[in-house]
Structures are given as C-alpha cells and as structure tokens.
Structure 1
Amino acid sequence: MRVGVDIEDGGLARITLRRADAGNAIDLAMARGLLDAARACAHGSVRAVLLTGEGRSFCVGGDLREFGALSGAALERHLMAVTDALHDALRTFAGIDAPLVAAVQGAVAGAGIGLAAAADVTLAADDASFTAAYTGVGYSPDAGVSWSLPRLIGPKRALDLLLTNRRVPAGEAAAIGLVTRVTSPDRLAAEARRTAESLRRGPTAAFGATRRLVAAGLSADLGPHLDSEARALAGLAVSDVGREGVAAFLGKRDPDFTGGAHRL
C-alpha cells in the first residue's frame, strides 16, 4: 500500500507516504492512494490530519522512472491520470474543515512541495531542503505549486525557485514563508503530533470557516469579503462551537470543542 491511513479515536487522521525506497515518489498508485486518503478524511469524524512520509525524504516529486517508461499519447494519458488523482486529493483536503499538518524531512521536491504547501501548518526538520525541479527535466508545475508558491512566498521568489531549481534549505524556507517552523530531526515527529493533537481538540467548524475565508480572501474584493466574514462569524456564534467557546471564556475554564461540533 503506497499511502497509509489511520483514523484514531478522537478524530486524528494520520496519513503516511510509504515508498521510502523511492523517496516517496508519486506514481499513479500513490496519487490514487492520496485521493482515497483525502476522501477518508472528509468524513465528519476527522478533526485534524497529520501528513508524513516514511524514510529519509518526505517526497521527491513525481516518479520519473515510471514516466520515463512511457512516451507519446500513453505518457500524456498517464500523466493526466496521475495529476487528476493528485489534484482531486488536494481539492478534497482544501474543502474539509479539519486542518492539515505536514511534517517534512530530507528531500522535498516537485509535487512534494505542493503537498507541503497545501498544509495549514508545515513543520520541517532542519535537514529538509526544497527544490522545485520541474523545469530541470523540461516539465511545468503540478500539485498546485504554481498557485501556492506565489501566494506563500510572492511571485518573484516563486519564479526564482521554479526557473532556477535552486535548493532551498529549511531555514530559508521558514524565513520566506514556505514552511511554518523548523525543528530538529529527532523532534519532528513529536512536534508534528503535538501540533495535530492540539488542533484535533479545537473548534473544527471554526477552523473550516477560517480556512475558507483565508483562501477566498486572497482573491476577493474587500467589501464582499467583509460580508463573508460577517456571515461566517454570525453562523458560528449561534452554533454549538461558538456557544461553548464563549461559555468557557466567561466561566474561566478550558473549552470542550469535541462534543459533536458540526460544519456550518
């Protein structure tokens, strides 16, 4: 199985890329495995998602050995199948309320950058490095990289990485906004788990509304976006999530958001 999915009691979904011997390169089977995993996370019981990769590298991008074995129309059809599955997985992750945490180490290239960029919180080991790699083999980006990179680091920096394929170490990736923060390799798993657990206990519906507002705000005009904020806030305020949060604040206690919060 290329992608492991484990949904724990309490709603934490752990997704693991399992092609360590190939640097977790994305072939058709892995792309479809990611789509299946994303669909499993769309279930209402999932409250947070943790994405990791086995082995020395998080994900080195597409499986060029698989692609190189094909040519012509067969290659074109194959790449469309891979990207269709991978992109549907990314759309699904973006559409759920549960926040996504990614823990990345070693080589992160091509579509691996797309997966890392898709997470709401991306933790990187200090041995991680990021290389766009696409144009180095005569390809253009997929996995949302040409969409996410300009939004995270700006169009000039994005084009620098996409055109030159220079290697970006973890420290620089954090400084320019490609990852959230950097930790030591021996602390990466524990820190990612702690972060995902904290989000799992949080107000899932409010997280979902916030994710959608931030995504929409990147292209919305201010006036309509203010209206969207008002509607989302008002809807949450009368929900179980909002009522519990305010009651806990006024009662000087920790809120319990895990008692059946629903998507608005």
Structure 2
Amino acid sequence: MELQATLYEVSERVATITLDRANRANAWTGRMHTEYRYLLKKADEDPDVGVIIVTGAGNFFCVGADIDVLSEFTETGEYSSGTDPDLVMPGSDEFPAFMHEYVYHFALSKPVISAMNGPAAGVGFVLACYTDIRFAVPAAKLTTAHGPLNLPAECGLSWLLPRLIGSARATELLLSSRKFLTDEAHGIGLVHRLVEPQDLMAETRLYAIDLITRNSPESLRQTKRQIYLDWHRDVGTATREAGDLLLDMVKQPDYSEAVSAFLEKRKANWQTDT
C-alpha cells in the first residue's frame, strides 16, 4: 500500500507507526484509518517486530476527525467512515468480540504503546485509550470532544474509559467533554509516564526494547490476551485458564531458556515464533 497519511519504520524489533498529517494536526481521515489498520496488521504479522509504537508527526498526536470531513456530514446528513468495504481487520480472528472498530487492538499479539507527542481529541483520544501503554509529553491537551459536536461517546469509549480509570472519573470526562492536560491524565492513571518532548521517542523506544528483551513473545501475547478477555469473565474462569496456560507454556523451549538465562545471569535468547 502506498502510504499518504502515515509513516512506518522498523528498528531493533520495534515498529513505529506515525500519523503523518502534521499540517492538519494529524486530523483523522478515512485514508489515515485505512493505512493505520494496514500497518497494524503488517507489524503484528511480522516475526521481526516485537512491539508497536504509535505517535504523531510534528507537535500533535491526533486532534480527531478532520473538520472538512465533519462539515461534509452536515451537507449530506449522513455519516461516512471514508473507508473502503474491504478494509483489513488487524489481529487474530480467534477473538470475535474484538473484531470491531478500534477494539481490534485487543486482538493483536504484540503490545502497542502510544507516544503522545501533543494534543489528542475525539478519535485521537480514543486511539490512545485503545493502546496498551501510554507515554505522553507534559501539558498536552486531551478531550473526548464529542459533546460540543452533538455526538455520542465514540467507538466504545463509554465502555473502555471506566475500565481504565474508574467509573466516576470516566463519567465526568465523558459527560463534560472538557479539555484536560496529560498531567491530570497521569495523575489518574490514564497516562503511564510523562516525558519531556525532546526525550519522548527515545524513552518510549528504550521502554519498548526492554519490554521485549526481558519478556518472551509468548508471555506477552498470552498476558495481553488474558487482560482483555478477563474484563468479560469471572475470576474462576480466568484462574482455570491461567492454570491451563501455565501447564502448556512450561513445555515450550522459551521456558527452558528463561530458566537457563536466570541461572546464568544473562539475557534470554527468545525462540518463540509469534
């Protein structure tokens, strides 16, 4: 696919997807969405990629849907995603509950980290929330944005945000659609780490590399799967499956390698093909 609204790079087993419409504050379009899903699928299926970073070009993460696109809806009276019907679906299809808009992040086998280099609003905020880990620069503006536009909470955010930060905090942010800063987001646990702009990508990459160096690919894949499936399941089911996974995973070569590496005080040489 010819990339027009995104950039893609792989280095040291880290894939970086950059939303690349800096002249429009990386505003979301159907073309960007199409490329983003294509690149997520590409990274997830690449055996040379262990983790995915999502960021924005310039000084913005993503300010939401492009205003020109929103204006078109007022003229037509209809909403359109601007994407083709044959849009690829990233992630494993063994999780039907995750085969929906943006929820496909949960079906990926690899961790996704957002490096929020600037403001995120509307669908840009949604996108960041669906990533597994969020790094951000201080004092960047965030907002759900939907209320002043006479829109509902978007893309399952009313389901997701309470699970990330608790019902009371999520309810206030969703009802008010107010602007708040990444500093507040860090204080309530939505942003995991605040990093100065000049250090954001370097620190995010160091974290990503450490993540895939210390942890086996299969452990990361199964742990991510457990986290999101367990949001729907009772503790008994979660515990039983964890036991079954343990019995299976101790038979894998990477378990023997992990024990050897621990005893020999060295880094593990992971073999698992993800």
Query: With structure 1 as the length reference, what TM-score do the two structures score?
Result: 0.89
Match 1:261 to one of 247, 265, 272: 272
- The CA distance in 1 between the partners of 2:75 and 2:222, in whole Å, is 44
Aligned counterpart, 2:93? none
SS across alignment from 1:7: strand
User: Which residue does 2:204 correspond to in 1?
Assistant: 192
State the secondary structure of the residue aligned to 1:57.
Answer: coil
Equivalent in the alignment of 1:177: 189
Please say if 1:56 is aligned against 2:59: yes
1:234 alignment counterpart: 247
Counterpart of 1:65, as a letter, is D
Q: How does 1:56-135 map to 2 (within 5 A)?
A: 56-71=59-74, 75-76=78-79, 78-79=80-81, 81=83, 90-135=102-147
In structure 1, what is the equivalent of residue 34 of structure 2? 32
Aligned AA for 2:26?
A: N
| 2:126–2:144 Cα contact (<8 Å) kept | no
1:181-216 Cα distance to aligned partner (Å, 9 max, x none): 111112111111111222232311100111111112
**Aligned pairs, number:** 259
- TM-score under structure 2 normalisation? 0.86
| Mapped partners of 2:78, 2:33: distance in 1 | 16
Runs of 5+ unmatched residues, structure 1: none
Match of 2:96 in 1: none
What is the aligned-residue RMSD (CA, Å)? Answer: 2.3
Residue 236 of structure 2 corresponds to residue 223 of structure 1: yes
How far 1:245 sits from its partner (Å)? Answer: 1.0
Q: After superposing the two structures, state which structure 1 stretch, 92-101 or 129-138, moved more.
A: 92-101
User: 1:70, CA displacement in angstroms?
Assistant: 3.3
C-alpha distance after superposition, 1:95-137 (max 9, x if no partner):
2221111100221111111221122221010032211101110
63-72 or 51-60, which deviates more: 63-72
Give the structure with the higher percent helix. Answer: 1
Higher deviation after alignment, 91-100 or 226-235 = 91-100
Q: Using the TM superposition, name which of 26-35 and 38-47 deviates more.
A: 38-47
Distance 1:18 1:102, change over 3 A: same
